[in-house]
Amino acid sequence: MRGSDLSDLSVFTAVAEHLSFRQAAEQLGLTTSALSHRMRQLEERIGVRLLNRTTRSVALTDAGRRLLERVSPAIEEISSAVGDLTREREKPMGKLKIHTPTVTAEMILAPILREFLEKYPDVELELGGADGLTDIVGAGFDAGISLQEFLALDMTAVRVIPNMPIAVVAAPSYFAKHPIPKVPEDLLQHNCIRFRLPLGSTLVNWTFIKNRTSRRLLAKTDIIDVKGNLIVGDIGLALRAAVNGVGIAYTLESAADFFIRSGHLIRVLEEWSPSLEGFYFYYPGNRQIPAALRALIEMVKSGPAKAGDTAGRKTAKPAVHKAARGSSKSA
């Protein structure tokens, strides 16, 4: 069946419903003459008269009645399906599959999952995917989350997380046996827990800055070639090893914050700490973005909503301003 056949069958069902060319034309937004021409074309193509018509009235032929009985349910189903898609464009619903390493999901998506799923109960969200996957479309994902350096050129990217400060940490038990480093070069005398990026074989460079000035302006290099007898591919594992006194970890400040505040880790070289560029949502194309994906991106960018009444929202404001200052400082 050609597309014109389906379109003309829609015209036929409208005329059959109203038994009036004028009313059918108004429903379809066509002129009466255009609708009449479409009906003649359909009858000529199939070689069967579907309507008996005079200047005063319109009636179905027997063939027209039999055709209407068969095509009317299909036309209604198609119209319903198109209507559902139109509503989906306006209201988040359906399946949404996001490619993201576990550590990224825990850091970026976990804080807003409950709020998102409660607000959009018609969305079925799936998170996961193999490390190193580059063809998310071929693997059936709608979008992914990654650092900018790993984004494919044919993807649309939306930054959702601002720059993230790095923290250099180790346990009190480790520093009980080793001197606290005062400058980055002191790390060459320490056992450092190195991190391998999940999206490749590259070890993370331990880069340092001071007062927004690259170490390259202060010394021969801004990268310290640290050594250590443990390499991990998970931030959580690196932190756990550091808490257990294995060595010094180079990690995200946000990930280490709890352990620093609880006293399980001591932060060093804070004045030298750089910032890692934030994460991006990426997806194919830049038109007709699914409503569910658009809603998820916006919620990640804005952060979890503050619960409570007006008084609660007032107490939440300082935290927002503090976060904004922190982002500006680390940018």
List, for residues 135-154, the tens digit of each pLDDT value. 788 888 999 988 777 777 78
Do 59 and 73 reside in the same domain of the chain? Answer: yes
> Using CB atoms within 10 A of its CB, is residue 229 exposed (0-12), middle (13-18) or buried (19+)?
exposed
State residue 119's pLDDT score.
Answer: 94
State residue 234's pLDDT score.
Answer: 81
Do 290 and 146 reside in the same domain of the chain? Answer: yes
Do 64 and 143 reside in the same domain of the chain? Answer: no
State residue 217's pLDDT score.
Answer: 38
State residue 285's pLDDT score.
Answer: 78
What CATH number did the domain enclosing 136 receive?
Answer: 3.40.190.10
State residue 315's pLDDT score.
Answer: 28
Distance in angstroms between the alpha carbons of the first and the last residue of the chain: 58
Do 150 and 288 reside in the same domain of the chain? Answer: yes
What CATH number did the domain enclosing 185 receive?
Answer: 3.40.190.290
What CATH number did the domain enclosing 74 receive?
Answer: 1.10.10.10
Do 147 and 203 reside in the same domain of the chain? Answer: no
**pLDDT-flagged residues of the chain (< 50):** 1, 3, 212-221, 306-331
End of a domain among 276, 298, 321? 276
Structural domain count, the chain: 3
Give the structural domain span for 270: 164-276
Do 286 and 318 reside in the same domain of the chain? Answer: yes
Do 106 and 86 reside in the same domain of the chain? Answer: no
State residue 199's pLDDT score.
Answer: 53
State residue 1's pLDDT score.
Answer: 46
Do 171 and 153 reside in the same domain of the chain? Answer: no
State residue 155's pLDDT score.
Answer: 87
Do 169 and 266 reside in the same domain of the chain? Answer: yes
Give the pTM.
0.55
Do 197 and 238 reside in the same domain of the chain? Answer: yes
